[in-house]
Chains A and B, each alone.
Chain A
């Protein structure tokens, strides 16, 4: 189980259906009841975190990756928002504008826009903004540097500690 805390027993809950219907928000957290994880949000409000999780998936869509990997990537931004008010402002404003654009085009906030291509179109419009650039470049490491996803791509990670590949298939290709 990745590095996230399960939240229980919080008094106020708001059920905000995201386009996947999967996430539940509380006053301080985003919860995924089916995948059974929760992400405490400290720098950004839970609705912003929820939007970020969806936007992260839309920026780097991997259908085989569960939400929890995107949530962990988003956690990095939450931590940065706690540490740096400028980051907090950049993300809050960027997300507010994204929601405003979604409402103008589709009458609902970003997470409730039903079609991926419509959400991607909204992202394309903000592609050159500092908010989008920060988000996308942060995801490059925040998402793809999670060791747990590497096997899903066929990448085996560290090798010297296993004796290298000299006896683990460095030249096992037989289809040529």
Chain B
């Protein structure tokens, strides 16, 4: 079944991280006969061990390693050491994601051309097109079981969706439905249908939601070519005098450092750890970190123009019952500069439990204004805004100059300032969101600022030319032919859509390309 490889086996393909990018890539390579090790920093927590309790689950699954922040984003003020809410466990952030699986739009791959020059924004066209990705999107949607594709019915609408739908229709929005969700609406791929548990963010306990933990890794392990090694946090990537990667150093569960040799390495640690690792792997040959001849490693950090709107109504909603994000309004995702900004955004249903609502409804808020809002919880509906934020070179992940982790490696520091376009888009989205709820009788609407980022993108972006980015159209770094990036760090721009489907799509395509290169002994 699952393989077990030796540290000195230098013919292995080594992947850092087991999430949407790393878990998919590893499983695909294994199924092509390529011996692969995935080194995952977190433990392996199985579905039976997930808990339907927000804080307990956060303690179990969340990435809580020290990070620092700066910039004018509110996250730096309210959650200075938690820039992102992502997962440290086998499966990565596919454990807690909501399942929203949208294809990026054609123009979103060429924003420099379509949006033109936006002052202060580091826009760049992707080195690939939607047309090139379409066959892989189709494969990914089949693999993940995305509703409304491949004949899979949409999920039923829960109470929260009913409110969104009614309000959206009243305002004249047309593209309103229960979403393209990688959550089974019926039995498929040996996984049962959604039970409307409503704790999607805490790990799906029914198996209806796709994750690399339950849907990809086991298939890879079955081939005998894949080993997933949990509690193995990679701290350095090593290379030879010719500049080719030779292996990685990681810390095992006992705190001891181990060296795993490799024929090639793919980094998929999500967009904060991935550049951190490249920067921490600096050497005399690569003093600015690996794959960083462009200087763009860590730069162009994007987190989507998020934010939420909650509406309080005269009668109960019980928004927390059922699939958290199976509800969408897509009309505003178009590019329409007449609204006062470039790029677009989606409205998606969202709910938090009472404990998280107390923490995130108004971080730092207190007093009767706060508690009156919270007392409306039973009658609350909620939506989340996902919009395209502008890449800016100054929004970046760097190594903190002072703070180090337990192994002595500098931690990641995330700097972020809203671009004027981001702020304008968010204001528009808040106003429209409030209008949706007021249209169906909300007595109070509450715009909420962005939470610690669940969408983290762009820090090792794709580019046609080596001077503009870190990787090429296959996620292969420009500088080092046997070093790849496989997570959302690759994204040249952020689009208005949740990124996981595109990450999986790129990983399937990257696996084809890697297998081809290995067969031709290019790597």
Chain A interface residues toward B at CB < 8 A: 59-62, 64, 120, 136, 140-141, 143-145, 150, 153-161, 163-166, 168-173, 175-176
Chain B interface residues toward A at CB < 8 A: 51-53, 55, 156-159, 162-163, 166, 194-199, 205-206, 315-318, 320-322, 353-355, 358-359, 364, 366-368, 370-371, 374-375, 377-379, 440
Give the shortest distance, in Å, between A151 (CB) and chain B (any CB). 10
In the bound complex, do residue A153 and residue B354 qualify as a contact, i.e. CB atoms below 8 Å apart? yes
A140 and B315 CA atoms in complex are apart in Å by 26
In the bound complex, do residue A168 and residue B195 qualify as a contact, i.e. CB atoms below 8 Å apart? no
In the bound complex, do residue B55 and residue A141 qualify as a contact, i.e. CB atoms below 8 Å apart? yes
In the bound complex, do residue A168 and residue B371 qualify as a contact, i.e. CB atoms below 8 Å apart? no
In the bound complex, do residue A165 and residue B321 qualify as a contact, i.e. CB atoms below 8 Å apart? yes
Cβ of B440: which chain A residues have Cβ within 8 Å of it? 176
In the complex, besides A154-B378, A156-B318, A165-B158, 19 extra interface pairs with C-beta distance below 8 angstroms are: A59-B366, A61-B367, A61-B368, A140-B359, A143-B358, A145-B55, A150-B354, A155-B353, A155-B377, A159-B52, A160-B199, A160-B206, A164-B197, A165-B195, A166-B195, A168-B321, A171-B322, A172-B159, A172-B318
Question: With A144-B358, A176-B163 in contact, do A153 and B199 touch (Cβ < 8 Å)?
Answer: no
A29 and B166 CA atoms in complex are apart in Å by 54
Interchain residue pairs with CB less than 8 A apart (6): A144-B359, A153-B374, A154-B318, A161-B52, A169-B321, A171-B157
Cβ of B364: which chain A residues have Cβ within 8 Å of it? 136
Chain B at the A interface: SS class: loop
A59 and B162 CA atoms in complex are apart in Å by 34
In the bound complex, do residue A155 and residue B163 qualify as a contact, i.e. CB atoms below 8 Å apart? no
Question: With A172-B159, A173-B317, A175-B315 in contact, do A165 and B322 touch (Cβ < 8 Å)?
Answer: yes
A169 and B318 CA atoms in complex are apart in Å by 9
In the bound complex, do residue B367 and residue A120 qualify as a contact, i.e. CB atoms below 8 Å apart? yes
Cβ of B156: which chain A residues have Cβ within 8 Å of it? 170-171
A140 and B367 CA atoms in complex are apart in Å by 12
Give the shortest distance, in Å, between A87 (CB) and chain B (any CB). 19
Choose among A60, A62, A64, A136 the residue with the greatest number of B CB atoms under 10 Å from its CB. A60
Neighbour of B162 across the interface among A143, A153, A171, CB < 8 A: A171
Cβ of B197: which chain A residues have Cβ within 8 Å of it? 159-160, 164-165
In the bound complex, do residue A173 and residue B52 qualify as a contact, i.e. CB atoms below 8 Å apart? no
Cβ of B52: which chain A residues have Cβ within 8 Å of it? 157-161
Cβ of A150: which chain B residues have Cβ within 8 Å of it? 354
Cβ of B317: which chain A residues have Cβ within 8 Å of it? 173
Q: In chain A, what residue has the closest Cβ to B156? A: A171
In the bound complex, do residue B198 and residue A165 qualify as a contact, i.e. CB atoms below 8 Å apart? yes
Give the shortest distance, in Å, between A116 (CB) and chain B (any CB). 8
Give the shortest distance, in Å, between A138 (CB) and chain B (any CB). 12
Give the shortest distance, in Å, between A30 (CB) and chain B (any CB). 23
In the bound complex, do residue B158 and residue A170 qualify as a contact, i.e. CB atoms below 8 Å apart? yes
In the bound complex, do residue A62 and residue B375 qualify as a contact, i.e. CB atoms below 8 Å apart? yes
Give the shortest distance, in Å, between B194 (CB) and chain A (any CB). 8
A150 and B374 CA atoms in complex are apart in Å by 11
Cβ of A136: which chain B residues have Cβ within 8 Å of it? 364, 366
Neighbour of B158 across the interface among A141, A143, A158, A171, CB < 8 A: A171
Question: With A62-B371, A164-B198 in contact, do A155 and B354 touch (Cβ < 8 Å)?
Answer: yes
Cβ of A163: which chain B residues have Cβ within 8 Å of it? 195
Cβ of A62: which chain B residues have Cβ within 8 Å of it? 371, 374-375
A141 and B358 CA atoms in complex are apart in Å by 8
Give the shortest distance, in Å, between A118 (CB) and chain B (any CB). 13
A62 and B370 CA atoms in complex are apart in Å by 10
